[in-house]
Chain A
């Protein structure tokens, strides 16, 4: 096998495929990336046996077809360091020589025949969505997924497709993020996708891209196809709570507030939160929102801002980190908060199709 390839393209492809390579594994061969050169194109393939990614690059000069296993970490690092616009890769027995500019590097790989084969999802329910839109939906939900061992789907985001609407939902039991998009499809499925897969997918999508992303969901797997990138992943087999019931339909008080101001004021207030249970008091009265926090050994914060209020007003305590994390992925100028009391979830409307529900802190 011998190829000549654009270095930047190769590096980008390595960035996507390389994120699948396991850092620790009992099967060291999985720490390689399989490069296969065919008729005028090459493909890169990596898997950790739970998920697999494949990227194809067309603009390649294939001198001699064939395949080679490349050690993922070293090869990625080399591509980052090289500056010449092109790279030549040539297999010599089990080794691969990489040449670029004046440099020559020999990489010791393993036998490509021993590497797991690429599998495609057989039959699946499919839906198509602009990839840039999917990237936004992932950003708007993934941060709320459970990171620690709670009762709910850990490290997973629910893909709920029904009635022509694809919803992404993530929750850790204390807050829940929901982002949706109407799609032209009658198919229905519910699938919990691991965060890792979404992070790899995110690398393959450029911001605001209109390119179509095809999603196919099988029994135990989900497949994403985006141009030259294909990603297959095992679904999480865990419980997901009945999320629709917790999105409040009505509220005692509705507040409209400037997002940037809220974010900045909340960050200031949160500096003086208690150490054990971080909590900021939101007090709404007339057209004022007062944010308060107190740390018994360091001091207290009290910040007031103008808002538009409807309803009775009242006060409620939130973990400020939950709200800051959501505001970070919100690009509205004015956000809306619907709140009742500390026994009821509060709802933040952070986008046209982006809803965030937070359970308050009670008993303060």
Chain B
């Protein structure tokens, strides 16, 4: 593996990480002038609600995303809590994505507000990475009047760190060969996968900065932290992250998951969520003209034990087939106890949707279902994800938080 990584250094890639600044909060401030300059917190202040985004004014008080709403209220009592508008954020995200698409087709969106772009080879057309980053920042602002921070580097990890160090409205370019020097002064917590659990492990061996990690050999790190974590540390700290930017077309799986404010305890709740997730997955399959042969269900209990179940089916892009399979998988592994903290539906075994299709004898219903799907997709394309829903119980009061 090392040999491959070192070889890759010979042909450097140019990778951009674009990260919208306080995305949801910035949209609210853009659309509601009275919120500008104020601490805006997107999300609820309820006991089990979570902060989705906080404006920079609120961040000054220590509020950050994924923080419990109650805690945010304590830190920033005069903060303005705003209900999220997922449809709007999605529409803005689409507009931003279309700016990215002017410069490269290798785009890997990580969420609504950030994406990796591989612009290797685009230089003759648009100039070097720094020039492309500047143009993207200019175009995004022109399109949606929002700022985006961009990091430019030779690998995903360094680009991601670079986009973050001079936020908001920042542009940081790490020229090839400068990755180690750029990373060296940063704390180890900047390394991917190093969190509250692993950081003390590193500190116990007096590794505080990424530079400290760089000073250790691959063998030493593997010896201290095991094959997996040791190699991971070595690769990231030395800026050797070789993972390609995977645009959705190349992705091997396609999934959605939701974490709930309140644990789900009834099958009806869980089925409702599975339907919503299956619809999202099915819609993306159809957008990309692909079909799935494997459906995977992810289920997390309140104690964080996580179950993964999967089943192979006939290739499909039909929401209801995905949904039925997910429900079957759920039935096989959950009987209502303990509650459910997170549910995810993933389509795998992806292939091109066949143009030709073996018809079904009992297809009147199937064909009607396909027409319904096409109609629902069209409505969502125009009016956003939440514009249309299948009928079912419990539509009005959902137990999960929006946009989580």
Residues of A within 8 A of B391 (CB): none
Residues of B within 8 A of A148 (CB): 314
Is the CB–CB distance between B361 and A345 below 8 Å? yes
Is the CB–CB distance between B358 and A277 below 8 Å? yes
Residues of B within 8 A of A357 (CB): 361
With contacts A276-B354, A277-B354 taken as known, whether A362 is within 8 angstroms of B362 at the C-beta atoms is: no
State whether the Cβ of A359 lies closer than 8 Å to any Cβ in chain B: yes
Residues of A within 8 A of B358 (CB): 174, 277, 319, 359, 361
State whether the Cβ of B392 lies closer than 8 Å to any Cβ in chain A: no
State whether the Cβ of B359 lies closer than 8 Å to any Cβ in chain A: yes
State whether the Cβ of A133 lies closer than 8 Å to any Cβ in chain B: no
Complex alpha-carbon distance, A20 and B354, angstroms: 41
Residues of B within 8 A of A175 (CB): 361
State whether the Cβ of A241 lies closer than 8 Å to any Cβ in chain B: yes
Is the CB–CB distance between B357 and A362 below 8 Å? yes
Task: Name the interface residues of A327-364: CB closer than 8 Å to any CB of B.
Answer: 342-343, 345, 357, 359-364
Is the CB–CB distance between B357 and A359 below 8 Å? no
Taking each of A174, A279, A319, which has the highest tally of chain B beta carbons within 10 Å of its own beta carbon?
A174
State whether the Cβ of A15 lies closer than 8 Å to any Cβ in chain B: no
Q: Which residue of B lies closest to A241 (CB)?
A: B362
Complex alpha-carbon distance, A150 and B325, angstroms: 11
State whether the Cβ of A173 lies closer than 8 Å to any Cβ in chain B: yes
Is the CB–CB distance between B356 and A361 below 8 Å? yes
Is the CB–CB distance between A359 and B360 below 8 Å? yes
Is the CB–CB distance between A174 and B354 below 8 Å? no
Is the CB–CB distance between B359 and A359 below 8 Å? yes
State whether the Cβ of A67 lies closer than 8 Å to any Cβ in chain B: no
State whether the Cβ of A43 lies closer than 8 Å to any Cβ in chain B: no
Q: With both chains docked as a complex, state the minimum distance between the C-beta of B301 and any C-beta of chain A, in angstroms.
A: 28
Q: With both chains docked as a complex, state the minimum distance between the C-beta of A324 and any C-beta of chain B, in angstroms.
A: 15
Q: With both chains docked as a complex, state the minimum distance between the C-beta of A158 and any C-beta of chain B, in angstroms.
A: 14
Residues of A within 8 A of B359 (CB): 174, 342-343, 345, 359-362
Complex alpha-carbon distance, A176 and B363, angstroms: 13
Residues of B within 8 A of A309 (CB): none
Number of A interface residues, CB 8 Å? 27
Is the CB–CB distance between A361 and B357 below 8 Å? yes
Complex alpha-carbon distance, A364 and B356, angstroms: 5
Residues of B within 8 A of A277 (CB): 354, 356-358
Taking each of B313, B354, B358, B362, which has the highest tally of chain A beta carbons within 10 Å of its own beta carbon?
B358
Complex alpha-carbon distance, A150 and B358, angstroms: 14
Is the CB–CB distance between A171 and B356 below 8 Å? no
Is the CB–CB distance between A171 and B361 below 8 Å? yes
Is the CB–CB distance between A279 and B356 below 8 Å? yes
Encoded as 1 (CB less than 8 Å from any A CB) or 0, chain B from 342 to 361 comes to: 00000000000011111111
Is the CB–CB distance between A317 and B356 below 8 Å? yes
State whether the Cβ of A82 lies closer than 8 Å to any Cβ in chain B: no
State whether the Cβ of A129 lies closer than 8 Å to any Cβ in chain B: no
Is the CB–CB distance between B362 and A173 below 8 Å? yes
Complex alpha-carbon distance, A364 and B354, angstroms: 10
Complex alpha-carbon distance, A362 and B358, angstroms: 6
Q: With both chains docked as a complex, state the minimum distance between the C-beta of B290 and any C-beta of chain A, in angstroms.
A: 14
Q: Which residue of B lies closest to A357 (CB)?
A: B361
Encoded as 1 (CB less than 8 Å from any B CB) or 0, chain A from 130 to 159 comes to: 000000000000000000111010000000
Complex alpha-carbon distance, A245 and B7, angstroms: 65
Residues of B within 8 A of A162 (CB): none
Taking each of B314, B360, B361, which has the highest tally of chain A beta carbons within 10 Å of its own beta carbon?
B361
Residues of B within 8 A of A152 (CB): 362
Q: Which residue of B lies closest to A171 (CB)?
A: B361
Q: With both chains docked as a complex, state the minimum distance between the C-beta of B313 and any C-beta of chain A, in angstroms.
A: 8
Q: Which residue of A lies closest to B360 (CB)?
A: A173
Residues of A within 8 A of B362 (CB): 152, 173, 241-242, 246
Q: With both chains docked as a complex, state the minimum distance between the C-beta of A278 and any C-beta of chain B, in angstroms.
A: 9
Q: Which residue of B lies closest to A318 (CB)?
A: B358
Residues of A within 8 A of B314 (CB): 148, 150
Is the CB–CB distance between B354 and A246 below 8 Å? no
Complex alpha-carbon distance, A341 and B275, angstroms: 34
Q: With both chains docked as a complex, state the minimum distance between the C-beta of B350 and any C-beta of chain A, in angstroms.
A: 14
Residues of B within 8 A of A242 (CB): 362
Q: Which residue of B lies closest to A317 (CB)?
A: B356
Taking each of A148, A345, A360, A362, which has the highest tally of chain B beta carbons within 10 Å of its own beta carbon?
A362
Q: Which residue of B lies closest to A151 (CB)?
A: B362
Q: With both chains docked as a complex, state the minimum distance between the C-beta of A229 and any C-beta of chain B, in angstroms.
A: 35
Complex alpha-carbon distance, A175 and B356, angstroms: 17
Task: Name the interface residues of B299-345: CB closer than 8 Å to any CB of A.
Answer: 313-314
Is the CB–CB distance between B361 and A173 below 8 Å? yes
Q: Which residue of A lies closest to B352 (CB)?
A: A276
Complex alpha-carbon distance, A342 and B367, angstroms: 13
Complex alpha-carbon distance, A94 and B180, angstroms: 80
Residues of B within 8 A of A317 (CB): 356
6 nearest A-B residue pairs (beta carbon)? A359-B359, A364-B356, A246-B361, A359-B361, A241-B362, A363-B356
B contact residues vs A (CB 8 Å cutoff): 313-314, 354-363
Contacts A173-B362, A176-B361 known; 12 new A-B pairs at CB < 8 A: A150-B314, A171-B361, A173-B360, A173-B361, A174-B361, A246-B362, A277-B357, A345-B361, A361-B358, A363-B354, A363-B356, A364-B356
Return 5 A-B CB contacts under 8 Å, by A number.
A241-B362, A246-B362, A359-B361, A361-B357, A363-B357
